[in-house]
Chains A and B, each alone.
Chain A
Amino acid sequence: MAQVLVVDDSSTVRNEVCDFLKANGLTVVPAVDGKDGLDKLKANSSIKLVVSDVNMPNMDGLTMAEKIRGELKNSSVNIIMLTTENSPAMKERGKAAGIKGWIVKPFNGAAVIGSLKKLIA
């Protein structure tokens, strides 16, 4: 069963996203920052999708994405970024790290669930 890694340092956002995904029948693995997320992904091969915040302490989302592709050599997991803004530089970095999409906050579950489910199908 495919699982979803939800990475956000804000417990409010993290819980909201997790609750929504759970309510839609998905199994979620919460993580509090990039480092945590990386560790959890390393330990769990069922994770097929990562939904991550960008700005976080310890390790930000983009760095985590780069490490997933680089250190973990995991090229199959889909990575989606939760963001409030975007700059060309950020998008460039995201593209290099194989980021599938950007969800602009506030998180609107109904709008994104269809596409997210497709990503782990």
Chain B
Amino acid sequence: MSLRHRIVFLVALTFVAIAAIGGYSVIQSRKNASNVKTVTEGVVPSALASADLVALLKEVQLATMTLASAPDQTLAEEAREKLAAQKTQLKDGLDLQFKQATGQAQQGLIEQTRESLDNYFAAIDEMAQLKLAGQTDLAQAVLFASVAQYKREMEQVIDTLRIEKNRSKDEAITALNENLAGAVSALSMATVLAIVALGAAGTLLYRQIVRPVGTMQSLMTEIATSQDFTRRLPVERMDEIGQSTVAFNAMIEKIQESSEQLKQKTTDIQTMLQNIPQGILTIADGNKVHPEYSAYLETIFETRDIAGRDMMALVFADTNLGADALAQVEAAAGACIGEDCMNFEFNQHLLAGEVEKRMPDGRVKILDLNWSPITNDADTIVRLMLCVRDVTELRKLAAEANEKKQELEIIGEILAVSQEKFHDFIAGALKFIDENELILHQYPEQDAQAIAQLFRNMHTIKGNARTYGLQHLTNLVHEAEQTYDELRGAHPDIAWDQGLLLEELAGVRDAVERYARINEVSLGRKGPGRRGSVERYLMVDKEQIQQTIHRLETVNTGNLHELVAARDAVRKTLRLLGTEPLGKALAGILASLPSLAKELGKRPPMIRIEDHGYVLRNQISGVIKNVFMHLLRNSLDHGLESKEERLAQGKSKAGLIDLEMNVADGQLQIRLSDDGRGLALARIRKTAIQKGLIRADEHLGDEDIARLIFRPGFSTAEKVSEISGRGVGMDAVQDFVKREHGKIEIRFLDNAIGADFRRFETVVLLPESSALYVEGRETLYVYDLREMAKEAEASEADVAGSPVAGKPQLRVV
């Protein structure tokens, strides 16, 4: 039962009790009123009337006496009439009494009285007749005899009636009094009972409400003070208090949840502060560092003494900021904290963004400082947050990237100049620089002639540098030339300072030497070079260099990852200088194959080149060209069959030559195989016997026979010199390879031991250093030489460049 129901019940009970008591009182009072009415209107007047009867009787007696002693007839008559009236009165009185009689006893008494009355008046009548008859004495006698007797009798009866009536009256009044008293006590009793019952119910209800509410209150207070949100109030009932308890528990659960979330968040923030590789601190009033800061800050500042320190001392001591800048930072920070957030906008620009801080051991760290305000709801800055990043490494990388960029630009500039001319330029420039240095040493004071000479020399260097498009050098030389030009003037703004001039000259020398060094080291173009070799170097992909430079120019120097990526890209480009892909190295040869095929009456073959990401160093590509020109021609000439022959054997019309370059067992391996008829072992053996290289009866394994083709003077082609034979056989090919510390092998690809023809591959092995692995460059190119030849005819373009100059077209498998 809910509390509401209980209270309603109690109130209803109260109403019922009051209504019952009221109703009872109404009934009682009604009853009492009728009782009173009976008493006052019935019993009492009846008793009084009975007393009147006595008085009336006395009057009758008096009248009788009067009659009896009346002196004359008239008076007697009067008295007699009076008596008659009184008789009637008495009779009426008796009738009334009869009516009002209570009980048979009274009625009997009244009957008796009536009888007595009749007798009494009969005697009086007798006496009256005697009197009227004049017999006064007789009348007197009757009066004293019978009348008096009946009168006494009458008196007695009436008196008895009066007494009876009085008794009945007294009885009625007593009964009335008793009734009234009873009603009062009953009402009192009922009232007391109602009070007791209601009091008990009220108390019970009070205890049922107040006690649990009190318990709840004290438990709530306990939870509130202890902050132990794991506690719950016991739910022992399902009334309003029980429901409140459930609601309270739900609230506590919510609080527990949020307090746990808060705890989790705090822990997260703590963890973050502990682990974030960035220095984060907040600055409170008075420029003091708040005790909660990121652990990495200790790494950056190399101290554990951070909490509560003065921010200026912690962050800015031993930095490159001057006293005024420091004062500005301090004032700006002070002007923000505790003030409206607009103050941050006012003074933000004064908060240093980058400082160089000298550590106790002399190392200098470059720190990137990022300030932000922490505001409250009223937009007041409560603290300043400072993120400190150690960007020393980043700046170094940026500088390195810039250096590389310049280097690339310089390479681009150098590549545009032929090796010979460049060599001459460097030699000439250094000669002029030497000359200037000598002049400067000779003249500690200003000298017009000396300046003229200095200027002329520098002007020449600049002119040459500009002619060759060596932009970086031109700029630097221009500055030196400007200095001399200024000194040459009538009113120079600068003074002759031997030291400074020498320093400037040294800068020019460094720049020229840098160009020379890049030319020698990065490009490998030491010395004046030979005519022709220049062409080799022009094959460096300038576009790629331009792209790399662009990449460096657009790199976000604030982002470490981008910087690293850019640096790697530049590195890759620089590494790739002086290398070329196999396909590119063989481009010219591939281009020559279709016409050869035509001569041989064969279809131009398909060429597959798989380089597994390796590129050839330029030093080796000449050898590779020589070797593979021969091997490819051999393959086309001896290996691949004519179209008809191939079709008859169920092969495709065009032959397929496979080239695969890879590194294995510390060696660069370039393998060539084709889908032609295979190695003609029987014919080789025959030729060898004919040429006297082996005896006819000599027993040789397939490998031994194959190896015969490398013997000097061996050539299987019937018509020497036309196709494969340019006076160069496989022995010469082997020599080329050996000169580069490599070797060449024939490996069989089938198990047809002793057969006339066997499938095989030619493997050229070279030192691993002949190639360079470039990550992410693995490609498989397929060149359809027939298509290429057609296109070449159609456009009359030089096929040599097209498939390899970055556009290995056709089908890429």
Asked if B774 is an interface residue, CB under 8 A from chain A, the answer is no
Note all chain A residues with C-beta closer than 8 A to B347.
Answer: 102-104, 111
Given A100-B340, A101-B340, A104-B328, A86:B335 Cβ within 8 A = yes
Note all chain A residues with C-beta closer than 8 A to B342.
Answer: 100-101, 115, 118-119
| A86–B340 CB distance below 8 A | no
Asked if B573 is an interface residue, CB under 8 A from chain A, the answer is no
Which partner residue on chain A sits nearest B343 by CB separation? A101
State the CA gap A103–B335 with chains docked (Å).
7
Asked if B55 is an interface residue, CB under 8 A from chain A, the answer is no
Asked if A42 is an interface residue, CB under 8 A from chain B, the answer is no
Which of the four size classes fits the interface of chain B?
Answer: 10 to 19
| A102–B327 CB distance below 8 A | no
> How near does chain B come to A13, taking the closest CB pair, in angstroms?
15
State the CA gap A101–B338 with chains docked (Å).
10
Asked if B705 is an interface residue, CB under 8 A from chain A, the answer is no
Given A111-B345, A111-B348, A101:B339 Cβ within 8 A = yes
| B339–A84 CB distance below 8 A | no
Given A91-B338, A100-B340, A112:B346 Cβ within 8 A = yes
Note all chain B residues with C-beta closer than 8 A to A111.
Answer: 345-349
> How near does chain A come to B352, taking the closest CB pair, in angstroms?
13
State the CA gap A88–B347 with chains docked (Å).
17
- Per the 8 Å Cβ criterion, residues 63-121 of A in contact with B are 80, 83-86, 88, 91, 95, 100-104, 108, 111-112, 114-115, 118-119
| B349–A108 CB distance below 8 A | yes
| B331–A86 CB distance below 8 A | yes
Note all chain B residues with C-beta closer than 8 A to A84.
Answer: 327, 331
| A83–B335 CB distance below 8 A | yes
Tell me the count of chain A residues lying within 8 A, CB to CB, of chain B. Answer: 20
> How near does chain A come to B375, taking the closest CB pair, in angstroms?
14
State the CA gap A66–B334 with chains docked (Å).
21
- Residue from B327, B340, B342, B346 with most neighbouring chain A CB atoms (10 Å): B346
> How near does chain A come to B32, taking the closest CB pair, in angstroms?
84
Asked if B332 is an interface residue, CB under 8 A from chain A, the answer is yes
Asked if B182 is an interface residue, CB under 8 A from chain A, the answer is no
| A112–B345 CB distance below 8 A | yes
Which partner residue on chain B sits nearest A100 by CB separation? B340
> How near does chain B come to A110, taking the closest CB pair, in angstroms?
8
Given A83-B331, A84-B331, A85-B327, A91:B345 Cβ within 8 A = no
| B286–A88 CB distance below 8 A | yes
- Residue from A101, A111, A119 with most neighbouring chain B CB atoms (10 Å): A101
Q: For the complex of A and B, list the 4 residue pairs with the smallest distance between their C-beta atoms, beginning with the closest.
A: A102-B335, A115-B342, A86-B334, A104-B331
Beyond A85-B334, A86-B335, A104-B347, 20 extra complex contacts between A and B, CB < 8 Å: A80-B346, A83-B335, A91-B338, A91-B339, A100-B340, A101-B342, A103-B346, A103-B347, A104-B331, A104-B335, A104-B346, A104-B350, A108-B349, A111-B345, A111-B346, A111-B348, A111-B349, A112-B346, A114-B345, A115-B345
Supply 29 A–B pairs (Cβ within 8 Å), ascending by A. A80-B346, A83-B335, A84-B331, A85-B331, A91-B338, A91-B339, A100-B340, A101-B335, A101-B343, A102-B339, A102-B346, A102-B347, A103-B335, A104-B328, A104-B331, A104-B335, A104-B350, A108-B349, A108-B350, A111-B345, A111-B347, A111-B348, A112-B345, A112-B346, A114-B345, A115-B345, A115-B346, A118-B342, A119-B342
**Chain B positions near chain A (C-beta within 8 angstroms):** 285-286, 327-328, 331-332, 334-335, 338-340, 342-343, 345-350
**Chain A positions near chain B (C-beta within 8 angstroms):** 80, 83-86, 88, 91, 95, 100-104, 108, 111-112, 114-115, 118-119
